[in-house]
Amino acid sequence: MSKVLVTGGAGYIGSHTTLALILAGYDVVVYDNLSTGKAEAVLPPARLVVGDLADTAKLDRLMQDEKFSAVLHFAGSIVVPESVENPLKYYLNNTNNTTELIRLAVRNAIPRFIFSSTAAVYGMPETSAVTEESPTLPINPYGRTKLMSEWVIEDTAAAHPDFSFVILRYFNVAGADPKGRIGQSTPDATHLIKVASQAALGRREALHIFGTDYDTPDGTCIRDYIHVADLADAHVLSLAHLEAGKPSDIFNCGYGHGYSVREIVAAVKQASGIDFPVIESPRRAGDPPALISNPARIRATMRWEPAHDDIEGIALSAYNWEKRL
């Protein structure tokens, strides 16, 4: 049984991937400072070690003791407006800590590294459906820090032939475990479907739509939404890809089609049966009108076949989880 380290494994995407790894037969150790993650999201038999990425001595000891075959790195800061207001936090947490984690992985001869990146590295693409070859021109510190981490990973692999990687660029992640075991538990999360679910349950006074005058069919932004369970499966396939000796690579993670903000609101209203209030607000800076993935590479290379490409089902799983919190 391969033993893997999952940083940030008590968080939203990390906990779903930890569950998928367990079900695939891996021995999983989660390393998380619980600043946004929840200890109860780390389901047995996965083991939780509470610690901060900045504590390199603790991380080094853990790697020496456990002899991991791979690192799956989720720990990081992800809120775009916060990255603009507090860029140093993002450069320290997302880039500096990732660089130190990679250094320790090389030092301890951990041969495989899977990185949680983002479509934010593309910035404001000229075409709505982006490929992995699309220009990377991030427009905020969040996207820049993720792209810088990608460069560190690629340069490290070039210098160390025994170090291989998969970088996964996420589009809009949503939903919860279909069996209701785990979900998005961060109370101040900014994910649209979660915020809409909170509005449906009266935990927010209303849902704000930021911008209704975009050059899209209904005037609101269009995004590619991917169910978190499908994204978790992509990580398991990525690990198997590297274990099979396949080359390092970068992959978009999305469905290849999008939904507008208004369509998402309608889906959550249908899932909840509640006509919650919606407020139309001015645009936010830096929001492209449409951002959709081209997932051809991951489908062809890893035979990744999404099981939850259904916006009504995604909305319902998110709403049902929100009711349980």
The residues annotated as belonging to the active site are 142
Q: What is the DSSP string of 244-255?
A: TTPPPEEEEES-
Q: How many C-beta atoms lie closer than 10 Å to residue 310's C-beta?
A: 15
Q: Can you tell me whether residue 176 is helix, strand or coil?
A: coil
Residues 6+ apart with CB under 8 A from 212: 219, 220, 280
The C-alpha atoms of residue 144 and residue 81 are separated, in whole angstroms, by 13
112's tokens: 């495989």
Place of tokens 């911008």: 211
Look at the chain and count its residues. 325
Would you state the torsion angle of the CA atoms of residues 221, 227, 232, 233, taken in this order, to the nearest 10 degrees?
-120
Q: How many C-beta atoms lie closer than 10 Å to residue 43's C-beta?
A: 17
Crossing angle for the helix pair 311-324 and 261-272, to the nearest 10 degrees: 60
42's tokens: 């780390």
Tell me phi and psi for residue 250, to 5 degrees.
-120, 135
Cα 109 vs. chain centroid, distance in angstroms?
Answer: 26
DSSP 275: -
